[in-house]
Amino acid sequence: MGKQEQAAISPTRAENYSEWYQQVVKAADLAETSPVRGCMVIKPWGYAIWENIRQALDGMFKAAGVKNAYFPLFIPLEFLEREAEHVEGFAKECAVVTHHRLEAKDGRLVPAGELTEPLVVRPTSETIIGESFSRWVKSYRDLPVLINQWANVVRWEMRTRIFLRTSEFLWQEGHTVHADAAEAMELARHMLNLYEKLATDYLAIPVIKGNKSDSERFPGAVETFCIEAMMQDRKALQAGTSHFLGQNFARASKILFQSEQGKEELAWTTSWGVSTRLIGGLIMCHADDDGMIMPPAIAPAHVVLLPIFKKDSDRETVMAYTDTLAARLREKQYMGRPVGVEIDTRDIGGARGWEWIKKGIPLRVEIGPKDIEKQSVFVGRRDMGHREKMSVPTDRFVEDIADTLAAVQHTLYQRALEFRAAHTVTIDDKKAFYDFFTPQNTDMPEIHGGFALSPWCRDPACEAAIKDDLSVTIRCLPHDEALRGADAGSCVCCGKTAKGRAVFAKAY
């Protein structure tokens, strides 16, 4: 796009990142706010992303021996009370069902039939799954139990942001039970690897794997593993977590089993999840000032065919050519799915192509009488400028479709990787650290900072001081030794001996 040209999305990322995000969601027709405060309507073009994420992950889960099940939407209050210490973190803001009937009264409907015990709409199914596990598991022969649930959950939010923080969202939560610690730990790590695979191979989002610090760890977990991604405003987004819960959860839920030696023992458990939040991350990682850019591996559709005819006499020829091309493309596969083809025949001029640019479809294909004469099509790639369109022989376009999509996928991943590299710095010095995370314009902070790899002494006090001063948190203690470095150097906060580097960043 030329410098003078106006972007399709206003404001641009540089002008107002947060508002740009909302406008991309709208322009791409991904979702909308609903009449229910804090809840969203996920529109077909956005929901298809979730369907593709679900399909990809579900296949990986099943290959790992995980089975899907479904647990009740409602949680009895006593379940939360029983584990009140544990639910401290999230159970306060939730939807509470107190009545089971509506009655007409003075022309209005009013709640009636008060429940003796209120029910909570699940903020997670952890407690109710734990209750089931306590009944399902009796002997070592019943183990491991590997269960996953795809469902909606509700956490009442006062300040919401579509996909990123909504009162209701969709997610999967996996829960597993094991006879020994090592097996549980290995499972938790394996699930993190699957999330990494989802992020890199499907979402084209590079991630850093690591452990959470004590203060950022999931309540009740012995170890929380996470993948962290950099958004285009250089903030971090936690894109998935996997928890090794030790025997804590089994103790709270009374999950006991008789061991091979006939002894009654507490089981070892894990839990792990990702949510529709990932779609927010996908947008913030890839979209540009012209709208959404869909990685082909999870794109709702791969190609839009845009037939062009000025004369009615051309109509039949062009449409026949278009339909044949669509059929040929749909017979091809990319990443285990048939190539998804949309045909847009609307006669609305240039707005048609721009709509698809904003929706982020990987390939736009114009088909006019002259193209047909040459047996070629005119192809625009969403990862390139909107003017860089190429005439490609139709047969070759069809033949190469999977390779072309793979090339788009690769470009997006590389671009995100380079962006992250450009905004990840190794900082040992406290002043440099503070400078890195302090905007120059305090009234309207510009996009600044990024990931800082800095030595940390492991003292929560240093972590807290940095959080207070800069709203910067420890995203993870990276698994990659090249990032973590040696257990040497001085803490970027207190100067005492550090135990490797942590990833510091502002975060969603």
State the residues that interact with a second copy by CB under 8 A: 32, 34-36, 39-44, 47-48, 50-51, 67-77, 79-81, 84, 91-104, 108-109, 111, 113, 118-121, 128, 131-132, 141, 147, 151-152, 154, 156, 168, 170, 346
Four-CA torsion 5, 10, 14, 15, nearest 10 degrees: 110
- Residues in binding contact with Zn ion, number by CB under 5 A: 6
Chain position carrying tokens 């509700």: 154
List binders of Zn ion among 421-480 (CB under 5 A): 457, 459, 462
Name the maximum alpha-carbon separation found in the chain: 84
Exposed, middle or buried, 143 (CB in 10 Å: 0-12/13-18/19+)? buried
Residue 491 binds Zn ion (CB under 5 A)? yes
Residue/partner pairs of 141-145 with CB below 8 Å, 24 or more apart = 142/257, 143/177, 143/178, 143/179, 143/257, 143/267, 144/65, 144/176, 144/177, 144/178, 144/179, 144/183, 144/187, 145/176, 145/177
Residue 91 or residue 472: which is nearer to a second copy going by CB?
A: 91
**3-state secondary structure (DSSP) of residue 196:** helix
CB of 344 to a second copy, least distance (A): 12
Residue 76 or residue 485: which is nearer to a second copy going by CB?
A: 76
Residue 120 or residue 493: which is nearer to Zn ion going by CB?
A: 493
Please check whether residue 61 is in contact with residue 148, taking contact to mean a CB–CB distance below 8 angstroms. yes
Residue/partner pairs of 19-22 with CB below 8 Å, 24 or more apart = 20/289, 21/161, 21/280, 21/283, 21/284, 21/287, 22/162
Q: Residue 486 binds which one of a second copy, Zn ion, none, with CB within 5 to 8 A depending on kind?
A: none
CB of 44 to a second copy, least distance (A): 4
CB of 51 to a second copy, least distance (A): 6
Q: Residue 168 binds which one of Zn ion, a second copy, none, with CB within 5 to 8 A depending on kind?
A: a second copy
How does strand 264-266 pair with strand 333-334? Answer: unpaired
**3-state secondary structure (DSSP) of residue 234:** coil
CB of 456 to Zn ion, least distance (A): 6
Residue 494 binds Zn ion (CB under 5 A)? yes
> Which residues does residue 103 pair with via DSSP β-bridges, in sequence order?
110
Q: Residue 91 binds which one of Zn ion, a second copy, none, with CB within 5 to 8 A depending on kind?
A: a second copy
Q: Residue 48 binds which one of Zn ion, a second copy, none, with CB within 5 to 8 A depending on kind?
A: a second copy
Q: Residue 132 binds which one of a second copy, Zn ion, none, with CB within 5 to 8 A depending on kind?
A: a second copy
Residue 492 binds Zn ion (CB under 5 A)? no
Residue 198 or residue 462: which is nearer to Zn ion going by CB?
A: 462
Q: Residue 91: what are its φ and ψ, rounded to 5°? A: -85, 0
Q: Residue 156 binds which one of Zn ion, a second copy, none, with CB within 5 to 8 A depending on kind?
A: a second copy
Distance set, CA 225 to CA 66, 213, 314 (Å):
19, 10, 59
> Which residues does residue 68 pair with via DSSP β-bridges, in sequence order?
148
Q: Residue 457 binds which one of Zn ion, a second copy, none, with CB within 5 to 8 A depending on kind?
A: Zn ion
Residue ranges that bind Zn ion, judged by CB under 5 A: 457, 459, 462, 491, 493-494
